[in-house]
Amino acid sequence: MRAGTLVAAYLMAAGATLALARGVGGADQGTGVALAAVSGGLVLPLALARWPFARVLQTAFALLFLGAVVVWTGGRLPAYPYGDGAALVEYVETGFHFPRWLLGMAAVIPLFDLVWRPLGLMGVLGAAHAPTRAFVSLMCLTTMGIGSVAMLQRFRGRLSVAFGMLMPIWVLLSSGYVEYYPLIMGAHLAALAWTFEKPLEERSIAAVALVTGLLPALYIASAPVALLMLAAACLATPRRTPMLVGASAAAFVVAVGLAFPGGPLAYLDALGTSMNAGDTNTMFRRYAGETMSATSIFFAPSAAVSSAHLGDVLYLIFWCGGWLWLPLGLAALLHVRRADWQSARLDAQAWLGVALVAWQVFYVLFMVPKLGPTGDLDLFAVSFMTLAFLVGEGFDRLASADVRVTVLAAALGACVATAPFLLGIWVPVRT
């Protein structure tokens, strides 16, 4: 592939992103830093012209990881205005197994109690001024850094995996950002990549059960995704349905029984009280009283499609997921031929892709960000990652190698142009 074509795609996407950041995103600071990042990032499309894109991205994410470690070592942990980082730090400090984040908490809390504290690491390096927060930050940046490089190695050549990472929020989560999402994003992307890697009928019952049973225990909001994956596996091999459903349910129950103090029944009781139904813990004034009911976590339809909320959704798409996936997704659809549609009718993975798009669009539109669009900027990180992955999956199956590398260069341009605004806390606050 000619370097000039890739550089042009990179610069066009970056330029469009910077224009949208000011015109649509409302950013009035940070443009100079973003321009500098875009200029420095020109090495990326040049590298794509010479080396396989997996190697280029592995190097980029390894450098991001090392940079995050240097920042962490110096104790320069910025206090971002997004997310539930303070709650996560409190839960780790007190040993509380928050039911919505069960498996992640069950892994991190023992590391904190049995390794970090006993070995006297509370005051070393970047941990001196905020030891628990520093520990969580280190776990987050390590999980994201190692996970990014490992997945690009395991799923080498998969544009879908690369697209899942080339979002502004992925860069933010890889920086030492304190939240639960850095602990689970890699696992979610790996689960998607594994599910679409080969026909589901070729997967063993045990493997499908582990993936679909553990995802909800990892993050309860992923339960619908796990159910859709399980349904697709059953559709692919109907005769295995009883065994698949039973094994998946057993995996979930065993995981909860091992990870949650008190076992599955205590978990279900605690989960019900942690779901923030109705106006519970709604900190954003404009969203008060806008849910379907006092027992719902979703917007009422009238609120979901209001002009104000649709503006919030566009804001979240741009700053969290990245705007480029919308036109790229449309381009992938336009590449689908009639023969492709005919063959897709019998493909369980195709139906799974359609169902995942429908669910994630519903979730982004109807789920209430309790802290508001800016405070909960990361709430839909998994949703946008899933949608970006599916766009990449479309290009993997339909596009030529040259087209795939070209759209990857454009995706890099959009990501590099947007990420500095998140890292520098120059994203405008939406009220």
Which pLDDT does position 24 carry in this prediction?
73
CA distance 121 to 114: 11
Distance of CA 313 to the CA centre of its chain: 16
Q: Residue 385: helix, strand or coil by DSSP? A: helix
Torsion of CA 217, 222, 226, 227, to 10 degrees: 110
Instruction: With CA atoms as reference, report the closest residue to 299 among 386, 369, 241.
Output: 369
Which pLDDT does position 125 carry in this prediction?
53
For 227, 309, 370, the CA distances from 85, given in Å and listed in that order, are: 28, 24, 14
Ranges of residues in the chain whose predicted pLDDT is under 50: 126, 339
Which pLDDT does position 397 carry in this prediction?
87
Tell me how far apart the terminal alpha carbons of the chain are, to the nearest angstrom. 45
Which pLDDT does position 74 carry in this prediction?
81
Residues 6 or more apart whose CB falls under 8 angstroms from that of 257 comprise 263, 264
CA distance 68 to 74: 10
What is the pTM assigned to this prediction? Answer: 0.95
Which tokens in the block code for residue 407? 């759209």
Which pLDDT does position 129 carry in this prediction?
55
CA distance 108 to 339: 48
Asked if residues 133 and 178 have their Cβ atoms less than 8 Å apart, the reply is: yes
φ/ψ (deg, to 5) at 62: -65, -40
For 160, 187, 308, 325, 373, the CA distances from 219, given in Å and listed in that order, are: 22, 10, 29, 24, 21
Asked if residues 81 and 429 have their Cβ atoms less than 8 Å apart, the reply is: yes
CA distance 76 to 380: 26
Which tokens in the block code for residue 341? 């549609």
Residues 6 or more apart whose CB falls under 8 angstroms from that of 142 comprise 65
- The DSSP call for residue 321 is I
Amino acid identity for residue 327 in this structure: P
Which tokens in the block code for residue 210? 């582990």
- The DSSP call for residue 242 is H
Asked if residues 174 and 61 have their Cβ atoms less than 8 Å apart, the reply is: yes
